[in-house]
Amino acid sequence: MFTFQDFEEARDKKDFLLQAINQHEASEEYKLAEDADEYDKQKNVTILNYIKIMYTMTGSPVVDFTASNAKITSNFFHRLNTQRATYLLGNGVTFQDEKTKKKLGKEFDKRLYDLAYKALIHGVSYGYWDSENLYVFKLTEFVPLVDEETSALRAGIRYWRLSPDKPLYIVLYEEDGFTKYKKEAGDGQTLQEIQKKKGYVQHIKKTNAGGEVLIGESNYSSLPIIPLWGSKLHQSTLIGTREGIDSYDLVRSGFANDLNDVAQIYWLIENAGGMDEDDLAVFRDHLKIQHIATVTSQDGATVKPYAQEIPYQARENFLNAIRSQIYEDFGALDVHQVSANSTNDHLEAAYQPLDEEADDFEYQVSQFILQLLKITGVSEDEYPTYKRNRISNQAQQTTMVLSASDYLDEETVLNKLPFITVDEVQEILKRKEEEQEQKMQMAMQAQGIQPQGEEDQEEEEEPEEEENPNG
């Protein structure tokens, strides 16, 4: 891998950028991330590339074009990662100071979720702060240049190309600014600088005529690109999950192929006088392709089919077992294992594996946010909090919360109720306060008591009425 020190020592920076990109795309991490993207799209690489092979009399392998090749792909990978990401970030992030969330932008929760999901499936993703918004850099489009001594991210190369016949665009991010480059398709190693180095923060002044003038540039205290790791292992969730998904898909596809090929039906030829290997091969091909075959006329020669029941139950048991194992290994909640009448105690136990994995992921997300707050200048005392998105026995939980409501304030009660989201709490408290004020005013008017504000106004007006005649 190329490091930040390699970048500093490189004489030809443009050539170094192209070499770093080529090396990055040849790495195991990059190839794994590409496979993870395919599995995320339910294009499971192993099953889609599977080809049935048969062997000739000489032992040479050839493609069996007569065999069915159904390819049934499951959606385990996308489902499992979506569950882990939404469990932690489905309700967004909350801070003690509401101004913190506003400073991070209106779409911060949405972009943080996207960043976190990419970190899960790729192992790591990178968040770039541009002074107003957070942007997501995937592993497949960003080359990190870390410090050999501290392992801190000191620079990075982002690149993209719409298609092989389109130009390659490169942005080099350094601590003192960023530079843009472009390479035309088919132009060899020629890299052109299309924008000189600029600072990350642009200082703009508005003119009297309504225009804007750039009066200066500045940078942050460190590189405004922060890595978000998917787990403490720093690896893609595809590792350890892929083999189980492939086995599940192969068994399902194999069962469909057996049904189509009727592989469990065989024929017994009686009184045919025997066949050599070539005749048997021809006979088999006729049966599989044309579903019709004849034998050479012999005395009493007959062909009798014999059917064997397809072992459905054994395969079904295997699929159920491997499905449960996939959920257990991933640390996910299998809703099929939760009954409609489950108590909260049963649900808590079912959520335990997911909670353990989410705790690790929460630590990674929190570390990312704290570094981001440091770059943006927000107080380091701020710490993100999360409301995990989980199912529960709502009737039982609501009863439990309301039974303890005499000992809790209204905001805590609302936060604990399972059917109220975090975003709704403040709005509900505001509306309740307005309703209480209206009820109080109506009660005072019914008793003939004038609101305090109106009494003060009359007291202020009375002296003016006494002074005016004398004036």
Task: Please write the tens of the pLDDT for every residue from 124-175.
Answer: 999 999 888 999 999 999 999 999 999 999 999 999 999 989 999 999 999 9
C-alpha distances (whole Å) from 63 to each of 50, 60, 67, 80, 285 are 11, 10, 9, 35, 14
CB within 8 Å of 308: residues ≥ 6 apart: 264, 265, 266
Nearest to 181 by CA among 375, 374, 5, 12: 12
What are 302's two structure tokens? 């007959």
SS3 label, residue 270: strand
Q: Could you tell me what percent of the chain has a pLDDT over 90?
A: 45
Which pLDDT band holds residue 469 (cuts at 50, 70, 90)?
very low
Q: Give, in degrees to the nearest 5, the angle at Cα 32 between 119 and 246.
A: 105
Which range, of 150-164, 183-197, 306-320, 390-404, averages the lowest pLDDT? 390-404
pLDDT at 466: 47
Confidence label for 467 from pLDDT (cuts 50, 70 and 90): very low
pTM: 0.75
What CA–CA distance (Å, rounded) separates 150 from 125?
19
Q: Which of 19-28, 189-198, 376-385 has the weakest average pLDDT?
A: 376-385
What average pLDDT does the segment 81-103 reach? 90
Q: Quote the pLDDT of residue 157.
A: 98
Phi and psi angles of residue 426, each rounded to the nearest 5 degrees, phi first: -65, -35
What's the pLDDT score for residue 471?
41
How far apart CA 411 and CA 301 sit, in angstroms, is: 88
Q: Where is pLDDT greater, at 281 or 225? A: 225
**What does the pLDDT read at residue 25?**
96
Distance CA 2, CA 20 (A): 6
CA distance 468 to 134: 63
Spatial strand order of the sheet with 142-146 comes to 142-146, 153-160, 168-174, 177-183, 192-198
Place of tokens 């990401």: 85
Look at residue 177 and tell me whether its pLDDT is greater than 90: yes
Confidence of residue 323 (pLDDT cuts 50, 70, 90): very high
Residue 67 confidence (pLDDT): 59
184-193, 343-352, 424-433, 446-455: the lowest-pLDDT one: 446-455
Position 54 confidence tier, pLDDT thresholds 50, 70, 90 = low
- Which pLDDT band, with edges at 50, 70 and 90, does 253 fall under? confident
The mean-pLDDT minimum among 46-50, 304-308, 361-365 falls in 304-308
Question: What pLDDT does residue 421 have?
Answer: 72
In this prediction, residue 64 has a pLDDT band, given cuts at 50, 70 and 90, of low
Cβ contacts of residue 277 below 8 Å, gap of 6+? 57
In terms of phi and psi (left: phi > 0; alpha: psi -120 to 50; beta: otherwise), the region of 59 is left
Scan for tokens 């050479």, then name that residue: 296
Alpha carbon 13 to its chain centroid, in Å, reads 34
Residue 235: pLDDT above 80?
Answer: yes
Q: Which residues of 154-169 are buried (b: 16+ CB within 10 A; e: fewer)?
A: bbbbbbeeeeeeeebe
